[in-house]
Amino acid sequence: MIKIKIDKTGNIAIKVMGVKGAACKEVSAFLERALGQKLDEQLTTEFYYIEEETDQSGTETMLGEVS
Amino acid sequence: MSHITKIQTKIYNISSLAEAAEQLGLEFIENRRTFRCFGWGDTSCDHVLKVSGNSTAYEVGLKLSHDGSYELKFDDFDGGYGLMKKIGAAAGLLLQRYAVVEATRLARIQGYSVTESLCEDGSVELEILTEAL
């Protein structure tokens, strides 16, 4: 699955889940090439995503904000 | 291992921009070379977005840049007399809607299904599913 979050300023965070190894980069390459200028990229683990995705209030956090 | 990529939206696809603009209540005027604003500065452009049904609102000029992207030119004085409500501060809502339209189009070309949802903070989230993943 690819999740994309686009905020009200036009900033985009693209998250690829469930793909092992370097193939995860290929999955989203077609979006990253076409949507604009890459600002940052972080490699992370599936566990890290689960921790990041929902805060204690149950609301979604902005993808990619956690350093 | 997976990854997160952050991108600042740049407008490359004028058709997707026209569709995004229409969804926000703006009209795409192809090949109009000046846009309505207070009148100072360079008002030259390649295409124009105007607020539908509002002849007094300022307009957005779309200017093709050297890298193939379109620069958004507009005057936000006094809310652009209705323009800024449509496109958001610094045209953020227009960029957001463009990114949604373009990402959805690109995903569907790949044969993926796309689900769009609106978050409480005004962000838009797309879930792109494919049997291959």
Q: Which residues of B touch A (CB under 8 A)?
A: 1-10, 12-13, 69, 88-96, 98-100, 102-103, 106-107, 110, 112, 119-129, 133
The angle that helices B92-109 and A23-35 make with each other, rounded to 10 degrees, is 130
Average pLDDT for A12-39: 86
Confidence of residue A48 (pLDDT cuts 50, 70, 90): very low
Contact B69, B12 (CB under 8 A): yes
Contact B37, B74 (CB under 8 A): yes
How do the pLDDT tens digits run along chain B, 133 residues long?
Answer: 578 899 999 999 999 999 999 999 999 999 999 999 987 789 999 999 999 999 999 999 999 999 999 999 999 999 999 999 999 999 999 999 999 999 999 999 999 999 999 999 999 999 999 665 4
- Interface confidence, given as ipTM, is 0.91
